[in-house]
Amino acid sequence: MAVALRQSFRYGSLQATLEQADARDLDSGQVTPEAPRLIGDLSWTYQKLPLHLQAKGEFEYVGRKVVGNGCDESNPNDLTSYCLGVPNKEFRLALARSFLEGRINVGLNMMIATGFTGQTTENFATDYQPGYVGPLPVPENPIAEAVGVRMPSYASVNFTYRFGR
């Protein structure tokens, strides 16, 4: 399910979207890992700032999602003990200024982010014995844990030159 609202103004616009999705196995009714989840987005543009600057901003929230199962340490074979990912929050801002009738464009872009991208589950063995030499034994007590790559914040500057008329 998705809802989108957009309002245009003389020198800009505002848009909000909200999406909620769920995916389940048709036979068992169990939640499908990695399925979409709640996503909210608010974006705006403004074209007439002082010094002929143009601004764009966006806030995006991506809610928790099921990334696997088996996260109950006391019963790792319980497939109903879901591993939940961390919600992500991103704030993006862009400022731009054009020169020479639009032939040169200079901009500043930044993103402030929290959360993780590529979230999934990893299985870890709990019966590892330090100093053991030989083939790796099949772990008797695997534990699943949600993992991901941290989303870094950044800032950048861009310069664009358009050749021709």
pLDDT 10s digits, 3-34:
999 999 999 999 999 988 877 778 877 777 66
User: Mean pLDDT throughout 119-140?
Assistant: 62
In the sheet where 88-99 sits, what is the strand order?
2-9, 12-19, 39-46, 53-62, 88-99, 104-114, 154-161
Pairing of strands 2-9, 53-62: unpaired
Give the residue with greater pLDDT, 139 vs 99.
99
Do residues 146 and 71 make contact, with C-beta atoms less than 8 angstroms apart? yes
Q: In a 3-state reduction of DSSP, which class is residue 52?
A: helix
Per-residue pLDDT tens over the stretch 57-83: 999 998 887 777 666 666 655 656 677
Give the residue with greater pLDDT, 108 vs 140.
108
Q: pTM score, two decimals?
A: 0.68
